[in-house]
Amino acid sequence: MSLFVSNFNNYLTTMKIKQNYIANKSGIDEKKLSRILNGHQAETGNDMEQLSKAVGQPVHFFLCDNFTSINNKIPQVPRISFYAGNPTKKQTDFANKLLDMMENIDEILSAKSRFLKMEF
């Protein structure tokens, strides 16, 4: 497996990017992409350019020898999940008032167009 493919695979794993996404973005057939990324087919210069462009990196980004140190510099997107709990009565009342207000605004805006179309 070439240095480019090894580093590219490492990047995909680190960034949690799926092969089918890369195939769609690069225009490379999924089967060919799989053969390239598994080392069963050699990548061409054009393949390297397409793959690099698909992830928004230059080709030389994947050609350095100490790519593991680069992985530490790749920004990690935090996965934030939380449960806010059940809303209190006050929060529910406030949300209902907001919905009523939005419905009133919708009525007012739609009434404007009706008035403009009226004939006297």
Q: How far is CA 91 from the centre of its chain?
A: 33
More confident residue, 86 or 35: 35
- Provide the pLDDT for residue 72: 57
Mean pLDDT, rounded, for 10-37: 91
Measured distance CA(86)–CA(92) in Å, rounded: 10
pLDDT, tens digit, 9 for 90 and up, residues 69-120: 565 555 555 555 555 567 889 988 998 899 889 888 878 777 766 666 666 5
DSSP 41: S
**Region 6-20: what's the mean pLDDT?**
89
Residue pLDDT, tens place only, 50-73: 999 999 889 988 888 877 656 555
What are the angstrom distances between the C-alpha of 26 and each of 30, 47, 99? 10, 8, 44
